[in-house]
Amino acid sequence: MPQKPSKYSEYSFSKFLRSNSKSSDEFEFMLNNLSLEEVIALKLELSAKSINGKLYGFYLWNNINKIVRESVVLFAVSSTRSLDQAQALLGIKDHVQMKKIVRRYRDSLRYYGVFDLKNRRYLKTIIGKPAKE
């Protein structure tokens, strides 16, 4: 008997990566066995290898909070069905602050297709119409 899809399957970042051939079952299984610290260290090592070890000028220490926050906002907004749920997941009490956060990360949310997910009309009302290219 076929397995019933999860009600959250349409809100999957994994599904987005798979549709762009950036992930697979095998990759996700292996990734799941690593800690977040190991994933970050490995990603940095692979990035450094690709540019002959010269990560100079990236100011990792000063930007790590921005990188992690963007990742967490992307997860929260893509894996929940409403702004209130995303806000609760992030532990943010102020609704106005949450709207500011969504506006701050709107380019990343657009890039990863979060605006195209079902039940995300609320995002468009927060940030307005996208600028013409």
Q: Give residue limits of the domains in the chain.
A: 10-58, 64-133
User: What is the rounded CA–CA span in Å between residue 14 and residue 22?
Assistant: 9
Q: Would you say 82 and 119 are in contact if contact means Cβ atoms under 8 Å apart?
A: yes
pLDDT at 52 over 50: yes
**Mean pLDDT on 100-128:** 82
pLDDT at 129: 57
Model-level pTM?
Answer: 0.75
Burial class (CB in 10 A: 0-12, 13-18, 19+), 101: buried
